[in-house]
């Protein structure tokens, strides 16, 4: 089953700023390497369903 990662608008803006910085201050290759590593990190990370997160928040187990 294919999963989809949903970013908040703040996370999208920060990621966009970071990618722009990497490309302009370093290089396109550095930016591409970062994207590849980020993709691999997301693939390896366990995905916690929203239901579990909301239960953790309501029980006080998660401070977000």
- 1 within domain boundaries: no
Torsion of CA 37, 34, 12, 17, to 10 degrees: 170
- 64 within domain boundaries: no
- What is the count of structural domains for the chain? 1
- One digit per residue, pLDDT tens: the chain, 64 residues? 566 778 889 999 999 999 999 999 999 999 999 999 998 887 766 665 666 667 677 776 655 5
- 22 within domain boundaries: yes
Nearest-angstrom CA–CA distance, 3 and 26 = 31
Range of the domain at 47: 9-58
The whole-number pLDDT of residue 5 equals 78
Contacts of 36 (CB under 8 A, 6+ apart): none
- 4 within domain boundaries: no
């Amino acid at each position: 089953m294919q999963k989809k990662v949903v970013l908040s608008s703040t996370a999208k803006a920060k990621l966009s700023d970071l990618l722009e910085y990497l490309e302009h201050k370093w290089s396109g290759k550095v930016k591409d390497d970062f994207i590849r590593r980020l993709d691999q990190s997301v693939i390896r990370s366990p995905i916690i369903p929203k239901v579990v997160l909301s239960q953790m928040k309501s029980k006080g187990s998660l401070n977000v």
